Amino acid sequence: MSATLDINPTASGALRRAVPRRLAVVRGLLALAWAAAVAIAVGSRVPTTDTELPTAAAAFLASYPLIDVIASLVGSALTDARVLRANAAVSALAVVGIAIAAFGSDAGATLVAFGAWAAISGAIQLGRAIKHHRARGRQLPMIVSGGLSTIAGISFIAASGNEEAHLATLAGYMALGALFFLLWARRGDAAHEAVPEVA
């Protein structure tokens, strides 16, 4: 749910208005597709935290942070590159960590790895959204999304100590994040990205 978008003031006005919305829509639609894929891969089964994940579920969970890697790198070409590149690095490390847990360990370890990524990337998103809300507003969906991502990540880590691994909640997390990105993009369309032109 991370990768808050904010265009660099040196970019042209039209580009500054269009790219963040398009990137948010693509990111949101990909997250919805991943959520559906995880839900299908997990099915109605509720494994215990000490069992292995189905291969398809492991693959979709491990690859999900790649959406943030790509969105952050594309966004960094036009925005606050330092923070977005840091987020891309965190998400790239998460791909490796979640893959190791999902393919080499069990459902509980996967919840911990996924939860750690969700909490850290959510905190990055929340910080960026608050900073940019003060400057130009219109960041409420990203503030809520970042806060919920941080809380959800902590709850995934806590859930790893339970007997049952409710992996379908990860699909719900993905879908909710997608909806916040789509809402942010829609609000941008409605407000015509109220960002001042740079002479």
For residue 79, give the 3-state DSSP assignment.
Answer: strand
128 contacts 4 by C-beta, under 8 angstroms: yes
Residue 6 lies in a domain: no
Residue 1 lies in a domain: no
Per DSSP, which regions of the chain are E strands? none
| Torsion angles phi and psi, residue 48, rounded to 5 | -80, 160
Residue 107 lies in a domain: yes
Mean pLDDT along residues 144-154: 94
Q: Report how far residue 141's alpha carbon sits from residue 183's, in angstroms, rounded to the nearest whole number.
A: 7
Q: Exposed/middle/buried for 189, CB within 10 Å: 0-12, 13-18, 19+? A: exposed
Residue 180 lies in a domain: yes
* pLDDT value at residue 108: 94
Q: Report how far residue 187's alpha carbon sits from residue 135's, in angstroms, rounded to the nearest whole number.
A: 17
Q: Report how far residue 187's alpha carbon sits from residue 199's, in angstroms, rounded to the nearest whole number.
A: 25
Residue-wise pLDDT for 29-54, tens only, equals: 999 999 999 999 988 888 888 999 99
Domains held by the chain: number: 1
Residue-wise pLDDT for 16-28, tens only, equals: 567 778 888 999 9
* pLDDT value at residue 7: 45
Mean pLDDT along residues 122-140: 79
**29: containing domain:** 13-189
Residue 163 lies in a domain: yes
Return the H-helix or E-strand segment holding 184. Answer: helix 168-191
Residue 5 lies in a domain: no
142 contacts 174 by C-beta, under 8 angstroms: no
- Largest CA-CA distance found in the chain, in angstroms, rounded: 60
Residue 195 lies in a domain: no
Location of structure tokens 């941080």: 150
Give Cα 5 to chain centroid, integer Å: 12
> pTM of the entire structure?
0.83
Q: Report how far residue 125's alpha carbon sits from residue 97's, in angstroms, rounded to the nearest whole number.
A: 20
Residue 114 lies in a domain: yes
Task: Please provide the distance, in angstroms rounded to a whole number, between the alpha carbons at the two ends of the chain.
Answer: 33
Q: Report how far residue 189's alpha carbon sits from residue 186's, in angstroms, rounded to the nearest whole number.
A: 5
